[in-house]
Amino acid sequence: MTLRTARHRVVVAVAAAVMFTVLAACGGNAASSSGGAGKVDGSSIVLTTITALEPQFKKYADAYMKAFPDRKVEVRSTTDKADEYAQQLATARLSGELPDVFFNVDFLADTLATDNVTLDLAPGLKDGKLHGLKEDSFLPQFLGQYRPLAKPEQITGLPVSADSVGLFYNKTLFDQLGVKEYPKADWTWDDMLRVAAEIQTKSGGRITGIGAPLGDGTAQIVYGPVIKAYGGSVYDPATHKSGIGQPAAQKAWKLLLSAYGKASGPYSATANDPKASFGSGKVAMAIASRATIPQTKTSLGKANWDVQVLPTIEGKSTAGGGSYGLSIAQTSKNQDAAWAFLSWFYDTSAGMKVAQDVGGVIPPTADGIDNGTWKDGTPPPANIAIFGKSARTAVLLAQLPGSSSTTMQAATKKATQEVLLKGRSIADAFGEAEATVNAAIEKQSK
């Protein structure tokens, strides 16, 4: 399990839905400050990231040190495996060896705050430590992923990129089959699945209409927004309950499961099969993140392809999203120097410009979406700007207490298999999944 697979998000993103194993609680109050200010001029800080992001973070550090020759940023990398990464941070917290700045991710943020790993950044934002950026400068849903469930007034990380998904489509395949109805901004899910089924039927199954939206049944980045569009919820923090088995959610599961074997290929428990990917050139449409664009360009070569916003349901956006972020350790003795680095990094004319050029980042601010360089580049896709619209309307992954996120992943996968492979009813399969998840939530909330 990696931090940033084709999860439609982070390592970008973005991406499918992996979840961390919960860290053992360390006690105390979340996000209290126990470090020190330190100095900025002549400072030296340590920044730790996962291995997959090490090359680009080294470029960020080099650019920062070029701008400030008397300051040093040492970039260290660690595992991409979720459970190992989490455990390393927990151990470093207990031994007093946390880095000054480190990679965080939406689905881990609440746990790290509870475990006293991350510093509350809200006071620093209020005091203007981030190059004039304030809380309301960031897209609220992305910043909200770094607000602890128990203390939402706190901010324990800052999103690096506003990762969201779009609908990729291969015009070359459409044209080969004589299908003239390309995806449009006003498409509904019924439109998308209808055209996907047409493509699959006309090709005799040689071409997949759309990559299975649910994947193996765990793609919360897809099913979460669809459930919300129908009026349901994956998790309601007010009631501390999941609603994945409720009537509104059942409508979502019925729609999503209807794709298998008709608009998409048959169900497979094998995630990330290259033969079933959009980049294989045998899939007409797919739901994927902007982070996959460079790889798609390489894989599809001279094929004519583009992107469009996700279809709507009952007039509501179904774009999903997520983020990875940067946090300051609450035990850091160089907090002012860490803030100075973040101030440079989030400046759209400084670090964030480098991040857009090097890491394909979409700045998680309104100004960055409107005026950033992330839209520049040679097509395809010609319609890349749709990711700005998707980011603004994105429904992000639900934060669940502790390891109940892992339980959710296993429960929806099991329910999907029981419906598709065993003929069990959606109401029964996902009702049982909801009960399993809620039992885990209750246990983790104690």
Whether the predicted pLDDT of 20 surpasses 60: no
Model confidence at 199: pLDDT above 80:
yes
Instruction: Give the pairing of strands 283-289 and 158-159.
Output: unpaired
Of 7, 373, 359, which is closest to residue 165 (Cα–Cα)? Answer: 7
pLDDT exceeds cutoff 50 at 178? yes
Asked if residues 179 and 300 have their Cβ atoms less than 8 Å apart, the reply is: no
Q: Does residue 201 or residue 399 have the better pLDDT? A: 201
Give the per-residue pLDDT at 11.
Answer: 34
Helices (H), 115-243: 122-126, 140-144, 171-176, 189-202, 220-229
Of 269, 271, 282, the closest CA to residue 420 belongs to 269
Determine how many CB atoms are found less than 10 A away from the CB of residue 369: 20
Return the pLDDT at 22.
Answer: 27
pLDDT in the model for residue 162: 92
**In the structure encoding, which two tokens stand for residue 110, read together?**
């609440």
Q: One-letter amino acid identity for 139?
A: L
Q: What is the largest CA-CA distance in the chain?
A: 67
Amino acid at residue number 445:
S
Closest to 100 measured CA to CA, from 53, 46, 181, 166: 46
Chain centroid offset of residue 424 CA: 31
Please give the pLDDT value at position 324. 94
Mean pLDDT of 323-328: 96
The answer to whether the beta carbons of residues 254 and 426 sit under 8 Å apart is yes
Q: Cα-atom radius of gyration of the chain, to the nearest Å?
A: 22
d(CA 406, CA 434): 13
pLDDT in tens, 292-316: 898 899 999 999 999 999 999 999 9
Q: CA-CA distance, 323 to 161, in Å (whole number)?
A: 6
Q: Tell me the average pLDDT across 186-214.
A: 97
Is the pLDDT confidence value at 9 over 70?
A: no
Contact 137, 366 (CB under 8 A): yes
Residue 256 CA to residue 12 CA, distance in Å, equals 25
Please tell me what DSSP assigns to residue 290. G
Asked if residue 103 has pLDDT above 60, the reply is yes
* Cα–Cα distance for residue pair 214/175, rounded to 1 Å: 26
Span 105-147, pLDDT tens digits: 988 888 889 889 999 999 999 999 998 899 999 999 999 999 9
Structure tokens at 430: 């996902």
Q: What is the per-residue pLDDT for 23? A: 28
CB-CB contact of 337 with 38 (8 Å): yes
User: Of the ranges 201-210, 309-318, 325-334, 391-400, which one carries the lowest mean pLDDT score?
Assistant: 391-400
| Angle value at C-alpha 164, between 161 and 167, nearest 5 degrees | 145
Peptide bond into 381 cis (omega under 30): yes
Q: CA 238: distance to chain centroid? A: 23
Mean pLDDT of 415-439: 98
At residue 29, φ and ψ (nearest 5 deg) are -90, 140
- Is residue 379 pLDDT above 50, yes or no? yes
The first and second tokens of residue 410, run together, are 């296993």
> Tokens standing for 102?
């480190």
| pLDDT of the residue at 5 | 36
Residue 2 has pLDDT above 70, yes or no: no
- Nearest by Cα to 47 from 61, 37, 59: 61
* Contact (Cβ atoms closer than 8 angstroms) between residue 170 and residue 283: yes
* Whether the predicted pLDDT of 400 surpasses 50: yes
Q: What average pLDDT does the segment 28-50 reach?
A: 79
Q: What is the pLDDT of residue 403?
A: 79
